[in-house]
């Protein structure tokens, strides 16, 4: 985790702030208790010089920047406004002093600058901190690769390795580039890419992804993607780019800031001149207009809103959810319809043995079936073989395409397959019209039993759907599979709107229809495993792909990538999105509200500069603190 | 051509917004984003005059924050 420490420059600023604070309060307290102007022979010049000293220590850089900006004909920024406001306050106080009135305003001018500098410092600190929290994600970036060239292993930057070259990865090292293992086999920690804590075993011929960590054995890998194209770079780029894709809220404040400042400054000028002309009480009105200048910077919003979205993106990526832009955070917040793909999304996407009939002969049935299915890579065979340990391999296998398998050894025959296989060999048994896939097993022409195999629903599916419903959303299930199967799956996870037997293009049409029938502005999401769902992902308001971090097509076509193969990250994503947008709204209302209030109070003379400074700096600090709360979302 | 540059010493969020507006107005720039949070300039501009346009961007940036530089 990269720690955030203050730079030398920042440390100097902090020292200046502390020194000025101490001096300021020393002078302030002395003046308030003993009234320096009265006791000193120099009159009000004493407090003036003391305050001026504080002013210079804390504010010299602001004055310099403001003057430079005036010279380069680009004056209208905070430095200038601060300069005018504080010089104005000093001047007014001096004028009062000269006239013999009580001098007030020195302390306010210094306080304004002090508070302003503290606020700026805090803003830089908070920005730096949240920037570095995102960069802790950057820790997954590999910084070197061991490439085999001319028989020697050389340590180079990952960017220097070309496609086709061979790299060596020792145990404990990060895999620097996407590639295929050509020698060795090992266990990999893929936690950074998939959130999976169970190590992933990989052997020769298998693909490995950059960003995983090699755990047990040394491997040689042939590189298939250059560094910029490898998985880890793609993920980091996605996160970095996400902050650039501005949300509607950020677009709004950019436009708002552009008109807010000129308007308030214009009002300030008007306030200084017009009432002065009418009433002749110049100093009163000039003072009030100075307050306007202090509140005229929309910094609180300009910083805290992007910061909030940034925190949202960062929090999501810590939870293995990649969002391609702040705009999708806003959309996810408004999402009230979630359309799910069935296979691989709600279900595991792989067959598993569900039950065996009769249960009493379970071991026998499985043993015979395993003998027959040995060596087959068919998903159903895999499901059966998963349940078996020592498979008898002395039988010879004959595949009957479309029916099943015949296994023979000396005088024994085993039949394993569909009902049609049984009929083909005239074996008496009952047909089962279950919607599950049924495998019939017979030995020596006698029916033994049947195995029900089904694509299991993921454990977290029902709970995740319930979670989404509790968040006010509706769930829909679309699939290309048989209607009866889709109905069963939908009912067991609590989805009431479902449709089966859909071709991929039908799914896209269905989503289009759902979107068209929406009247309330709610957004429609589609969640799939990304591999064949590209057109559907793009049709939805938000395309969400799940668990396919190795698939480029998935990342390209979707707007949100769930790196973990776990549906529960979906309601989590929605909760984080909701919280982010809620905090943005809170900040907007708070900042605008307080600023408006202070403008009004300044105009009628109730607010003084202290309040004005709070309206600028204090509000900014509070908004930033509020933005950091996003990080606590769960 | 679209390119992404890192920005050094970008400290003011308001300035970032102003820079973005100014850069978008430069002749030859199709689109540009200045992200304060990630300190990056993303720019899509005419291939033929790209380097010259980047120089103009640097000038525009300096007007708002004197110490801010584009890392080439």
pLDDT per residue as tens digits for the range B1-46 = 888 888 888 877 778 888 888 899 998 999 998 888 888 898 999 9
Q: In what order do the strands lie in the sheet with B29-35?
A: B29-35, B40-45, B2-8, B69-71
Q: Can you give the length of chain A in residues?
A: 634
Report the distance separating Cα A196 and Cα A210, nearest Å.
15
**Candidates A124, A297, A307; nearest CB to B11:** A124
Confidence check on the interface: ipTM exceeds 0.90, yes or no: no
Predicted pLDDT of residue A581: 94
d(CA A338, CA A497): 11
The pTM of this model reads: 0.79
Largest CA distance in chain A: 126
Q: What pLDDT sits at residue A338?
A: 94
Q: CB B20 to CB A257 under 8 A?
A: no
Closest CA to B13 of A575, A604, A627: A627
How high is the pLDDT of residue A40? 67
**Chain A contacts of B39, Cβ < 8 Å?**
131
What pLDDT, on a 0 to 100 scale, did the predictor assign at position A38?
67
pLDDT in tens, A476-517: 999 887 788 888 889 989 999 999 888 878 888 999 999 988
B37/A72 touch (CB, cutoff 8 Å), yes or no: no
Strand partners of residue A148: A153, A166
Considering CB atoms only, which of B12, B17, B42 is closest to A244?
Answer: B42
Q: How far is B21 from chain A (nearest CA, A)?
A: 9
B interface test, pick of A81, A116, A244 with most B CB neighbours within 10 Å:
A244
CA distance A266 to chain B (A): 19
Query: Is B11 part of the contact surface with chain A (CB cutoff 8 Å)?
Result: yes
Q: Which of A210, A213, A212 is nearest to A237 (CA)?
A: A210
> What residue has token string 């809170």?
A586
Which residues touch A575 (CB under 8 Å, ≥6 apart)? A471, A633, A634
Counted across chains A and B, CB pairs separated by less than 8 A come out at 56
- CA of B22, closest CA in chain A: separation in Å? 12
**What is the per-residue pLDDT for A261?**
79
Q: Is B58 at the interface with chain A, CB within 8 A?
A: no
Question: In terms of DSSP H, where are the helices of B1-72?
Answer: 13-25, 50-64
Q: Residue A246: its chain B contacts at CB < 8 A?
A: 33
Write down the H helix ranges in A425-503.
461-470, 483-493
Q: In chain A, what residues touch B42 (CB-CB under 8 Å)?
A: 241, 244
What parts of chain A have a pLDDT lower than 50? 1-3
Instruction: Read off the pLDDT of residues A577-600 as tens digits, 9 standing for 90 and up.
Output: 999 999 999 999 998 898 888 888
Query: Mind telling me how many Å the CA of A254 is from chain B's nearest CA?
Result: 6
Q: Which residue among B21, B37, B63 places its CB closest to the CB of A243?
A: B37
Whole-number pLDDT of residue A465: 93
Query: Which residue is catalytic, options A31, A341, A541, A616?
Result: A341
Burial class (CB in 10 A: 0-12, 13-18, 19+), A372: buried
A341 is catalytic: yes
Check residue A76 and give its pLDDT.
67
Rounded CA separation A261/A75 (Å): 12
- A contacts of B14 (beta carbons < 8 Å): 77-78, 257, 297-299, 302
pLDDT the model gives residue A1: 35
CB distance A252 to A203 below 8 Å: no
State whether A68 and B37 contact (CB < 8 Å).
Answer: no
A74 interaction partners in chain B (CB closer than 8 Å): 63-64
For residue A509, how many other CB atoms are within 10 A of its CB? Answer: 14
């Amino acid at each position: 985790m990269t720690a955030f420490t203050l730079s030398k420059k920042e440390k100097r600023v902090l020292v200046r702030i502390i020194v000025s604070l101490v001096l300021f309060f020393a002078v302030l307290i002395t003046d308030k208790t003993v009234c320096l102007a009265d006791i000193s022979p120099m009159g009000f010049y004493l407090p003036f010089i003391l305050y001026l000293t504080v002013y210079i220590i804390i504010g010299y850089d602001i004055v310099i920047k403001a003057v430079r900006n005036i010279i380069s004909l680009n004056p209208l920024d905070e430095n200038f406004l601060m300069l005018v406001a504080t010089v104005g306050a000093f001047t007014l106080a001096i004028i009062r002093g000269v006239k013999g009135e009580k001098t007030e305003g020195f302390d306010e001018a210094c306080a304004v600058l002090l508070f302003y500098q503290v606020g700026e410092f805090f803003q830089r600190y908070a920005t730096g901190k949240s920037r570095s929290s995102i960069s802790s994600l950057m820790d997954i970036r590999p910084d070197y690769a061991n490439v085999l060239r001319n028989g020697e292993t050389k340590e180079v930057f990952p960017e220097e390795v070309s496609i086709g070259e061979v790299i060596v990865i020792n145990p404990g090292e990060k895999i620097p580039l996407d590639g295929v293992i050509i020698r060795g086999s090992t266990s990999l920690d893929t936690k950074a890419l998939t959130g999976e804590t169970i190590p992933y075993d990989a052997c020769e011929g298998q693909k490995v992804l950059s960003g995983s960590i090699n755990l047990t054995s040394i491997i040689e890998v042939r590189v298939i993607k250059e560094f910029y194209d490898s998985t880890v770079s793609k993920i980091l780029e996605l996160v970095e780019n996400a902050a650039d894709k501005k949300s509607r809220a950020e677009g709004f404040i950019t436009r708002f800031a552009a008109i807010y400042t000129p308007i308030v400054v214009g009002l300030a000028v008007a306030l200084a001149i017009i009432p002065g002309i009418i009433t002749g009480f110049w100093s009163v009105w000039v003072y009030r207009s100075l307050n306007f200048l202090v509140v005229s910077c929309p910094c609180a919003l300009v910083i805290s809103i992007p910061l909030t979205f940034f925190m949202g993106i960062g929090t999501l990526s810590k939870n293995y959810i990649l969002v391609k832009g702040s705009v999708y955070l806003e959309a996810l917040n408004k999402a009230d319809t979630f359309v799910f793909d069935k296979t691989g999304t709600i279900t595991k996407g792989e067959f598993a043995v569900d039950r065996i009939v009769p249960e009493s002969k379970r071991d026998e049935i499985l043993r015979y079936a395993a003998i027959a299915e040995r060596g087959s890579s068919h998903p159903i065979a895999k499901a059966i073989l998963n349940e078996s340990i020592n498979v008898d391999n002395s039988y010879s296998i004959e595949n009957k395409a479309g029916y099943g398998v015949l296994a023979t050894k000396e005088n024994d025959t085993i039949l394993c397959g569909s009902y049609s296989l049984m009929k083909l060999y005239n074996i008496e048994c009952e047909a089962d019209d279950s919607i599950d896939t049924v495998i019939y097993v017979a030995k020596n022409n006698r029916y033994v039993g049947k195995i029900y195999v089904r694509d299991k629903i993921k454990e977290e599916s029902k709970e995740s759907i319930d979670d989404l419903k509790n968040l006010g959303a509706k769930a829909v299930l679309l699939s290309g599979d048989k209607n009866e199967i889709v109905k069963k799956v939908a009912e067991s996870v609590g989805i009431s709107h479902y449709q089966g037997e859909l071709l991929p293009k039908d799914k896209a049409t269905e989503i289009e229809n759902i979107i068209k029938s929406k009247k309330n502005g709610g957004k429609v999401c589609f969640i799939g495993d990304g591999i064949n769902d590209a057109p559907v992902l793009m049709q939805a308001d938000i395309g969400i792909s799940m668990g396919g971090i190795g698939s480029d097509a998935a990342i390209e076509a979707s707007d949100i990538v769930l790196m973990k193969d776990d549906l529960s990250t979906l309601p989590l994503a929605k909760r984080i999105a909701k919280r982010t947008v809620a905090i943005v709204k809170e900040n907007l209302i708070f900042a605008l509200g307080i600023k408006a209030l202070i403008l009004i109070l300044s105009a009628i003379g109730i607010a003084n500069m202290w309040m004005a400074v709070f309206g600028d700096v204090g509000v900014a600090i509070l908004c930033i603190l509020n933005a950091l709360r996003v990080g606590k979302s769960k | 051509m679209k390119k992404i540059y890192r920005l050094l010493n970008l400290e003011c969020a308001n300035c970032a917004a102003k820079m973005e507006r100014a850069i978008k107005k430069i002749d030859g720039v199709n689109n540009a984003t200045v992200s304060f949070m990630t300190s990056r300039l993303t720019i899509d501009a005419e291939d033929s005059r790209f380097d010259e346009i980047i120089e103009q961007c640097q000038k525009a940036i300096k007007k708002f924050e004197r110490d801010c530089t584009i890392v080439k």
